[in-house]
Structure 1
Amino acid sequence: MQNQELDEEYVALIAGSQPVLRGLLMALIRRAADVDDVLQETNTVLWRKRTEYDWQLDFTPWACRIAQLQAMAFFKRVRNRGQAALDDRTLEQIAVIATQQAVNTKSHAEALAYCMEKLSPEHRQLVENRYCESMPVNQIASQAGRSADAVSMTLYRIRKTLMECIQKTVAQEAHL
């Protein structure tokens, strides 16, 4: 792959990791303006370190570690100004938990997308109407010519199927 193609792919990895990185930094820092600053610093460091990234590894944990280090640098600056801040050990403990949660959330979201694709078009539409469009069950039932109880039961079964599929998919990924 050429450098430009690698750079474009790397930029896509950075862009795709933004929600996870922001969530991690929000767990560590809390103040939105500071999170924005540290996220920008993280993105800059990620870009500078693009040649160090091992393409065989998952990008998210690597990017989270860089975000964690940037958060630690932020707290060091805060402490140097005489403001209260988390110590490095506490920050490390929070970061480990937040990173794992971020990775798990990403895995579950990917598994959900995969499992949604496995649903029949009718069931997928039902889920989208109810949970993406926030359509009331009565309205869905009316449009489908079914009772609200029947729609509710179908949604229950779909949720159960999705949950089982997600758990199975995530478990399989964990064993790879």
Structure 2
Amino acid sequence: MDPAPNPASPEVSETFVRELTDHQTAMLAFIRALMPGSSAARDLLQEVNIILWQKREQFESGSSFKAWSFQVIRYHLMNHRRRLASRGWLIFDDELVEKISPALEADPGELEGRHQALNHCLQKLRPKDRELLQHRYSSGAPLNDYAKAINRSAGTLKATLFNLRAALRKCIERRFHEQGLPLQ
């Protein structure tokens, strides 16, 4: 029986680095899905990369690197969310994250297809509607502030956002149907 490979050996480190590199896109997408609206996704990915490197000896060669790394991401983000919650940030609770995370472990190619469909559909919107969506999902500023700035009520903007999300959903579904892609 061959002895177990030394985790510090150059060939094991090279294999680990290859796996880590190959999964960066999927890991970033997973972090973004678990932390929607967070501008810290790339920073969190770098933190996870360091943790994965420190735990590389725990990775069993031949097993699923994606499953292992996503589990590490889940635990790291749970701790990160607890730190944010202690500072008064409103966040998803751990139970919800555990329920939705398996659905987020999609193939990066599928995520890219969804991203392209979303971009296509966003381009079909009026500029002021894209601006509203950008403000709501990227700025982090309260909707009430934006409503005051454009002289509209927050209730009207909430209704507009509801309608925009429904229109985007239909557009994306239509785009997937036209391309013969499954929409899960």
Work out whether 1:73 is the aligned partner of 2:115: no
In the other structure, the counterpart of 2:14 is 8
**What is the DSSP-based 3-state SS (H/G/I as helix, E as strand, rest coil) of the residue aligned with 2:92?**
coil
- Partner letter of residue 60 of structure 1? K
Give CA deviations for 1:87-146 in whole Å, capped at 9, x if unaligned: 1101111212112x247849xx9xxxxxxxxxxxxxxxxxxxxxxxxxxxxxxxxxxxxx
In the other structure, the counterpart of 2:91 is 85
Cα separation, 2, equivalents of 1:68 and 1:62: 10
* Gap runs ≥5 in structure 2: 114-178
Of 53, 64, 74, the match for 2:59: 53
- Identical counterparts, % of pairs: 23
After TM superposition, where is structure 1 displaced by more than 2 Å over at least 4 residues in a row? 30-33, 102-106
**What is the DSSP-based 3-state SS (H/G/I as helix, E as strand, rest coil) of the residue aligned with 1:9?**
helix
Which aligned pairs between 1:14-163 and structure 2 lie closer than 5 A? Answer: 14-31=20-37, 33-99=39-105, 101-102=106-107, 105=110
Q: TM-score scaled by structure 1?
A: 0.55
Is this contact kept in 2: 1:25–1:67, CA < 8 A?
yes
Q: TM-score scaled by structure 2?
A: 0.53
**What is the DSSP-based 3-state SS (H/G/I as helix, E as strand, rest coil) of the residue aligned with 1:33?**
coil
Shift of 1:57: 0.7
Is this contact kept in 1: 2:48–2:76, CA < 8 A?
yes
Is this contact kept in 1: 2:25–2:108, CA < 8 A?
no
Count of residue pairs the alignment pairs up: 110
* Gap runs ≥5 in structure 1: 110-158, 164-176
RMSD of aligned residue pairs (Cα, Å): 2.7
